[in-house]
A and B are shown apart, each in its own frame.
Chain A
Amino acid sequence: MIAERLQKYLVIGFVVLFFVYLFGPLIVMGITAFNTSAFPRMSPWDCFTAEWFDVLMQDARLMTGLRNSVFIGLGVVALAVPIGLAGALVLMQARPRIRPWYYTITIAPILVPGVVLGISTLLFWDRVGLLLGMGVDSIFYNGVFLTIVGQATFISAYTMLIFIARLQRFDPVLEEAALDLGASHVQAFRKVLLPFLKPAIGSAAVLAFLASFENYNTTIFTIVQSSTLTTVLASKVRYGIDPSISALAVTIVIITLVGAVMYEISQRRQARKEKAQQAVARGELKSMTKQRSFFAEPAFIMSALIVFAGLGIVYFAGTIGVDECKAIVKAEKQAQIKLRVERRQQKAMFERTAEQIGAEQPDQEDVQDEEKVKAKGTEGYEGIFAPQNLQEQAGDSGVEEEKVKAKGTEGYEGIFAPENLQDQSGSNQ
């Protein structure tokens, strides 16, 4: 009995730990979005603020990237949904001997590293452009075009899988029935098969857009001179991190959550409707009661209220008293630093008297804090590119100095020198 109970607790503990692992990082990152500290962190907590969202909105590069990402996402949807649909329909009709080959080739792009897809797309269209004698300003060298094509290569495989799953539930007899009733093949396709596939078209479009939106590995090669949200993010994150990125993550998580809730609501509506229909068929219900509109669902209203309340609280709490709080924190920090400096001076004096000169390194934590307070004055977005901030934000791994120094001599051939190797892992652009 005890062993069984223990086992049960162990299982539950494991599940809880798993979900902590899954959500912990996102939650921590979410919290850092509301801390005034220029380095995204949860503790020590400085002041509650919503200012990082403003910083986010005013980031021109990010916004350009976002616009490109949306445009590319729509382009990928326009390309990958019809291709995936056609791919699935062809699979259903392919001859048994060909089918496994066809399936393997079409599914392969999912497994092929994104890097490889990006490179091959880039090279292929480069050659096509060259063969057609097109210039560098032609579409074949356009980052947006290349990215759409490159992403659609594997996203079409995703959409195809969605269509296959849906088609497997399609009764081909329905198409025959339509033909038998005099429909042409096109009519049977449009009036019977397409309506059946409609939900799959919807989910394929959503999936294609999301997959495109978050893609990095392929995009980084195909985007050439242009940028997307992910490439901008990646370069920002690699050069140093600041809480406006956390703010972006919070925004995305909230949008995802809202989407998940909406999806769940619509699923439940569908299930309820089917149940009612069956009841009608069995004669238990006289007729279908009219369903209330989606926006009148209690679950929807509840979640909308929660989102609005949350946003309101964040907005008010984030604007009221931030400056006062910041001033207090600053004063506290300065006092602390003063204290530490004094203590260090005392220590140094003590050490000097003990004639142990320079044996001990200054406490790194203190140095950081000092720099942070210095950087506070120039706080704001541009500030993160200031060298002292860069150092501070990237932590204290000690490589930063080398990084800054090595910047000028960067080059491919150089990577085999060990010290450069280190450098490029952090800052290749």
Chain B
Amino acid sequence: MVSYWKNFFLKNGTAVALFLIISVGVWLFMMIILPQLFMLDFSIRANVPPPKFGTEEHYYTLEHYKYMLFGSAQASGTFNIIDLTVFFRTIAAAIFVTLIDLALCYPIAYYLAHVAIGGWSRLMVLSLIVPFWVNEILRAFAFKIIFGSTGVINNVLIAVGVLDSPYDFIRNDIALWAGLSYAFILLMIFPIYNAVESLDKNQIEAARDLGSSWLRIHWRIVVPHAKPGISSGCTMVFMLTAGALAAPQILGGPSSLWFTQIIYQGFNQAGNWARGSAYAIILLISCIVLVLVIMKIFKVRFGEMMK
């Protein structure tokens, strides 16, 4: 160990070695690890105002986690139906959005990587980036405009005669799903595109030459090759969707809350930071566990995924 550090300093020179150690140290400990641990600590203590931190009133307790399950002690029901419903609906919706994005992006990624020709393909890939750099809020805003009761979609549907009166896309969560699928679509398309692009075209041609159908070519050759890209795309989209805040705030129907909104309310309205922290940790842990389980099922290793 000592020789490793000695060697580290020797190899990089003192100035560079110090720069590396300090930067990475600050990042790892002051920005990543310690804040998470502090949040964990916070979530298992009673909710008291800052001046009382560290006093006896700031005791350790699991009440905030219990609250998530059973609600407040005074509540009549056995379970905290509202929070639990929101939680599971958020997770389910995030999975749903991930699947939509996968279904949309895989064909497009394949098309861009292997079907489209030279300049066109390049232009299309480049143009994909444009919507991505438009603010998340503005993207949600755009969907609010087109899905509004006097929005383009309602106008078109009424003009064509499909609808008689405007359909409330917002209340029925369709705007939210469309907006969420849109929000992180590029995080799905680029990993898949990169993975598919690295596939040797000859492999596809060889398979076709051997009489394989298109479906089989994809199932046996392209998909296995692109598996790391597909899984990293799905993981990112799922995590970001489950943790999304802007789109649900803007596009969410009046009756459907997103779990992050409950956390947000805990902090900004109720001032119950401890419970907010506990909920944040519940969200974090359940998302990670879910991703790990699914990765296990599909036999993907984290290392190869993040290439």
A123-B273, A149-B31, A411-B270 are known contacts. Are A26 and B131 too (CB-CB below 8 A)?
A: yes
Docked complex: B227-278 residues within 8 A CB-CB of A: 235-236, 239-240, 242-246, 248-250, 252-257, 260-273, 276-277
Known A41-B151, A237-B140, A428-B268; judge A83-B12 contact (CB<8 A): no
CB of B111 within 8 A of CB of A395, answer no
Interface residues of A in 1-50 (CB under 8 A from B): 11, 14-15, 18-19, 21-26, 28-29, 32, 39-43
Residue of chain B at shortest CB distance from A85:
B23
**Is B111 a contact of A230 with CB atoms below 8 Å?**
no
Whether A29 pairs with B141 at a CB distance below 8 angstroms is yes
Is B221 part of the binding interface, using a Cβ–Cβ cutoff of 8 Å? Answer: no
Chain A 171-196 interface 0/1 with B at a Cβ cutoff of 8 Å (1 = within): 00000000000001110010000000
B257:A395 contact, CB within 8 angstroms: no
Interface pair A113/B239, CB less than 8 Å apart? yes
In the bound assembly, the distance between CA atoms of A123 and B53 in angstroms comes to 12
Contacts of A111 in B (CB 8 A): 235-236, 239, 287-288, 291
With A and B bound together, what is the CA distance between A415 and B275 in angstroms? 14
| In the complex, chain B residues whose CB is within 8 Å of the CB of A230 | 135-137, 246
**Chain A: minimal CB distance from B176 (Å):** 11
* Residue of A whose beta carbon sits closest to that of B23: A86
Known: A120-B35, A252-B138. A14 touches B129 (CB 8 A): no
Q: A279 contacts the other chain (Cβ, under 8 Å)?
A: no
- Interface segment, one of A89-97, A308-316, A328-336: A89-97
- The minimal Cβ–Cβ distance linking B121 to chain A, given in whole angstroms, is 11
CA distance A186 to B151 in the complex (A): 61
**A43–B27 CA distance with the chains assembled, in angstroms:** 50
B28 touches A105 (CB 8 A): yes
In this complex, which of A26, A130, A184, A412 has the most chain B Cβ atoms within 10 angstroms of its Cβ?
A412
Inside 8 A of A29's CB, which chain B residues have their CB?
138, 141-142, 145-146
- Asked if A253 meets B130 with Cβ closer than 8 Å, knowing A112-B284, A425-B257, the reply is yes
A321 at the A/B interface (Cβ < 8 Å)? no
Q: Is the CB of A186 within 8 A of B131?
A: no
B264 to chain A, nearest CB (A): 7
A89 & B146 in contact (Cβ 8 Å cutoff):
no
Given A110-B236, A123-B39, A214:B136 Cβ within 8 A: yes
Q: Is the CB of A412 within 8 A of B272?
A: yes
Looking at the assembled complex, report how far the CB atom of A291 sits from the nearest CB atom of chain B, in whole angstroms: 21
**Contact indicator B266/A412 (Cβ below 8 Å):** yes
Q: A185, B146: Cβ atoms under 8 Å?
A: no
Our pick among B20, B71, B145, B272 for the contact of A32 (Cβ within 8 Å) is B145
Shortest Cβ gap from B222 to chain A (Å):
15
User: In the complex, which of the residues A82, A216, A395, A426 contacts B136, with contact meaning CB atoms closer than 8 Å?
Assistant: A216
Count of chain A residues with Cβ under 8 Å from any Cβ of B?
Answer: 104
Closest to A175 in B: B11
Chain B residues with Cβ below 8 Å from A22 are: 128, 131, 182, 185
With A124-B34, A395-B148, A422-B255: A220-B245 Cβ-Cβ less than 8 Å: yes
Interface size on B, residues (CB 8 A): 112
Q: Mark B21-47, 1 if CB is under 8 A from A, else 0.
A: 001101110111111101100100000
Which residues of chain B are near A260, meaning CB under 8 Å? 126-127, 129-130
Name the one of B38, B166, B256 contacting A120, with C-beta atoms under 8 angstroms: B38
Q: Across the interface, do A41 and B148 meet the contact criterion of CB distance under 8 Å? A: yes
B182 neighbours in A (Cβ, 8 Å) = 21-22, 25
Interface string of A228-259 (1 = CB under 8 A from B): 01100110011001000110110011001100
- A26-B131, A116-B280, A428-B261 known; A217+B27 contact, CB < 8 A: no
Chain B residues with CB below 8 A from A40, complex form:
145
Alpha-carbon distance A267/B239, docked complex (angstroms): 33
Task: Give, as a whole number of angstroms, the nearest-CB distance from B71 to chain A.
Answer: 7
What's the nearest-Cβ distance from chain A to residue B270, in Å?
A: 2
Nearest-neighbour CB distance to chain A for B31, whole angstroms, equals 4
CB-based contact B257/A421 at 8 Å: yes
Complex: how many Å from CA A83 to CA B27? 7
B211 located at the interface, meaning its Cβ lies under 8 Å from any Cβ of chain A in the complex:
no
Which residues does chain B contribute within 8 Å of A32, judged by CB atoms? 145
Give the distance to chain A from B191, nearest Cβ to Cβ, in Å.
12
Digitize A360-393: 1 where CB-to-B-CB distance is under 8 Å, 0 elsewhere: 0000000010000000000000000000000000
B239 CB, nearest partner CB in chain A, Å: 5
Chain A 393-429 interface residues, beta-carbon cutoff 8 Å to B: 395-397, 399, 410-413, 415-416, 421-426, 428-429
28 A-B pairs (CB sep. < 8 Å): A25-B143, A28-B145, A29-B145, A41-B151, A41-B152, A85-B23, A112-B284, A113-B284, A116-B243, A119-B277, A124-B38, A124-B39, A153-B27, A156-B31, A186-B15, A214-B133, A214-B134, A216-B135, A230-B137, A230-B246, A237-B144, A241-B141, A245-B138, A256-B130, A263-B126, A410-B269, A425-B253, A425-B256
Known: A237-B144, A416-B75, A424-B261. 11 other contacts (CB 8 A): A14-B107, A41-B150, A93-B8, A107-B306, A111-B239, A114-B243, A115-B263, A216-B135, A230-B137, A233-B135, A428-B264
A-B complex: 10 closest residue pairs judged by Cβ atoms = A412-B270, A113-B243, A185-B13, A86-B23, A120-B35, A25-B142, A124-B35, A29-B142, A120-B39, A422-B254
